[in-house]
Chain A
Amino acid sequence: MSETQTLRQWLLTETPTSRRHAKISAFYKGWLTLRSNTMAMIGLGILVAMLFVAAAAPLLAPYDPFVQDLGNRLAPLGVEGHVFGTDSLGRDILSRLIYGTRITLYIVALVALIAPIVGLLVGTVSGYVGGWTDAILMRITDIFLAFPRLVLALAFVAALGAGIENAVLAISLTAWPPYARISRAETLTIRSSDYISAIKLQGAGALRIITKHIWPLCISSLIVRVTLDMAGIILAAAGLGFLGLGAQPPSPEWGAMISEGRRFILDHWWVATVPGLAIFTVSLAFNLLGDGLRDVLDPKAGE
C-alpha cells in the first residue's frame, strides 16, 4: 500500500495486488452493498442485539426467570417492576424473554446448521450424478415430504426422547427435504452449462465439480430459504414444546410461553402476545437480513 493511498482506496481498488487483497476487497464491497440496504441493516441490527441480549442475559434480566410469585400472578403490562407483566405463576415475563433468546438462538443455530447442509448434500449429489442415485435419493425425499412435518417430528422425538436437543434434531430431520429439492433443481440447470463442461475438460472429478462449482451457486438461494423458514422452525419447536416433547417447563422457551399463555388469552392477552411479538421480531429480522444477503451473494446484482 502506497503512502498516499487511504485504507478505503486500498479496499476499493479495481486492481488488487494479491489473492488475499482481492478477497478482503470483495468482502468489503459486499459489506458496502449490505450496508446500503437499510432493511437488511435493520434485520442485522436486531439479530446482533439479540446475540448481545443472549450473552448478557444474567446482567440484563431484572428477575430470576424461574422464581415464582403466586401473589402477583398475571400482573398486567407496565405494572411496577414488571414491564411486560407476569405469567400464570407470577414469573417476570421480561426476564423469561431475555433468557429465552438463548434457547431460540440455540434452536435456530442448530437447525440452520443441520437441515440445509443435509439438503444441499442430498440435492446436489442427486442432481449431478443422476440415474439410480437420483431416483433413490428423491424417493426418500418424497417419503419425508409426504408426512406432515410436525407429525414426523413427533415420531422422531418419541423415539429419541423428549428435550430441546432432540426436538431440534427432529425438526432438522424433517426440514431438509425442501432444501434438497431446491438444490437438486438448481443443480440440474447448472450441470449442463458450458462452464461445467469446461471444467470437465480440465479433468475435474465429480467431487470437485459438486463442491467447488455447484455449491457456490446453490448456497445463495438456500440462505434465503433458510432465513424464510426460521419463523416456522421456531414455531415448530414451540409446537413440540406445547405437546410436552420439546422444551420442558419451566424452561423459558418462547413457544412454550405462548402455549402456556394460551389458556388466559381472552382475559390476560399479554402473556401470550409478548413472546409472540418476540418471535415475530426475530423472524422478521431473519427475513430482512436474508433478502439483503441474497443481494450481496449474487455478484450480478447491483451492477
Chain B
Amino acid sequence: MSMLEVDGLNVWFGKHQQRVDAVKNATFAVARGESFGLVGESGSGKSTILRAITGLAPDWSGTLSIEGQTISKRRPKSFYKQVQMVFQDPYASLHPRHSVDQVLGETLHLHGFQDIDNRVVKLLDDVGLGQKFRFRYPHQLSGGQRQRVAIARALAPEPELLLLDEPTSALDVSVQAEILNLLTDLRAARGLTYLMVSHDLSVVGHMCDRLAVMKSGEIVEIMSVAALRKMDARHPYTQQLFEASL
C-alpha cells in the first residue's frame, strides 16, 4: 500500500470564464519511506499539487489517498498528524510576532501533546538549533535558521509524510546544502516519506528516489533518479529540461 496515492487529480482556480486549470489529471504514487520529486518550470503546477493535498487549494477533483484512506474535502485533525508541509520561503512562513517557542509550542498544543517544554527542546535539537534559539523572533534568525524552525514545526506532530515545497530555493547556496543534509538525516532517522517539489534537477537527484516531470499542469514523465543521472529521458520536454540544466 502506498503512503500517498494521487489519481486523476485536477486543480483549478477561479470560476467560469476566469477558471485556470493549474493541474490536469495528475496520477502518481509514493511508497512508504520513499522520496519522490516533482520537477518542472515555474507555473507548471508542482506546488499546486502539494497545496491540493494539504487542502490549501480548495477546488480539486480526483482521488487522493493516504495509506489507502481516501481524503475527504474537509480534512480531519488526524490528517494533519500524518501529513505536514514545509513552505518555500522561510521569510514568509513564520509569524513575525511569534517567537520560536510560541511557534513550536502552539503547534504541539494544537496536536494535543502534554510535555510541550521537553518536546520544544527536543525538536530544536533535532533540527540542529540549540536551546539558545528558543525565545528568538524570526527577524533575529538567518534564512537557514528560519527554515530549520519551519522544519521543526512540520516535524512537531510526528508526521509520516512530509511535503517539501522547494525548501531551499530561497536560501544561499552554502545554506542549501546544510538544509538538504538535515532533511536527508531526518528522513533516515524518522523513516519519513518525502514529496519534494523543486525546479533544481541536482537537488532532486541528490534527495529523491523517483521523480515526475511536469509541464503546464500535466505530468509528462515519471522516472527513476538512476534514469535522471543517465539523462535517459523519453519525453522531449524532459530532454529539453536536462539540456537546460547542464
Contact = CB atoms under 8 A, between A and B. Distances in A.
B93 interface: yes
Contacts of A9: none
Interface in B68-122: 77, 80, 84-85, 87-89, 92-99, 101, 106-107, 110-111
A198 interface: yes
B107 A195 contact: no
Contacts of B150: 198
B110 A202 contact: yes
B13 interface: no
Interface stretch (A13-21, A69-77, A222-230): A13-21
Interface residues of A, number: 25
A212 B107 CA distance: 13
A199 B150 CA distance: 11
Interface stretch (B130-138, B196-204, B218-226): B130-138
A203 B88 CA distance: 20
A22 B99 contact: yes
Which 6 residue pairs are nearest across A and B when measured between Cβ atoms? A22-B135, A194-B93, A15-B132, A194-B92, A195-B95, A203-B77
Contacts of B55: 200
A213 B92 CA distance: 14
B153 interface: yes
A201 interface: yes
* Interface size grouping (class) on chain B: 20 to 34
A16 B98 CA distance: 15
B80 A201 contact: yes
B45 interface: no
Given A22-B99, A202-B110, A303-B139, A197 B87 contact: yes
Interface in B117-157: 131-132, 134-135, 137, 139, 150, 153, 156-157
B110 to A, nearest CB: 5
B56 interface: yes
A22 B101 CA distance: 10
A212 B87 contact: no
Contacts of A212: 106
29 contacts: A15-B132, A15-B135, A16-B134, A19-B135, A21-B135, A22-B101, A22-B135, A25-B135, A193-B92, A194-B88, A194-B92, A195-B92, A195-B95, A197-B56, A197-B93, A198-B87, A198-B94, A198-B153, A200-B55, A201-B54, A201-B85, A202-B110, A202-B157, A203-B77, A217-B97, A299-B96, A299-B137, A300-B96, A303-B139
Interface string B166-189: 000000000000000000000000
A22 B120 CA distance: 15
A203 B101 CA distance: 18
Contacts of B77: 203
Given A15-B131, A300-B139, 11 more contacts: A22-B99, A197-B56, A198-B85, A198-B93, A198-B94, A202-B107, A202-B111, A202-B153, A203-B110, A213-B95, A300-B96
Nearest to B88: A194
Contacts of A25: 135
Contacts of A195: 92-96
Interface of A: 14-16, 19, 21-22, 25, 193-195, 197-204, 212-213, 216-217, 299-300, 303
Contacts of B92: 193-195
Contacts of B95: 195, 199, 213
Contacts of B99: 22
A216 B92 CA distance: 16
Nearest to A25: B135
A21 B132 CA distance: 13
Contact of A204 (B87, B97, B110, B131): B110
Contacts of B96: 195, 217, 299-300
Nearest to B165: A194
B104 to A, nearest CB: 11
A211 to B, nearest CB: 12
Contact of B139 (A14, A19, A299): A299
Contacts of A194: 87-89, 92-93
A231 to B, nearest CB: 29
B97 A299 contact: yes
Contacts of A199: 95, 106-107
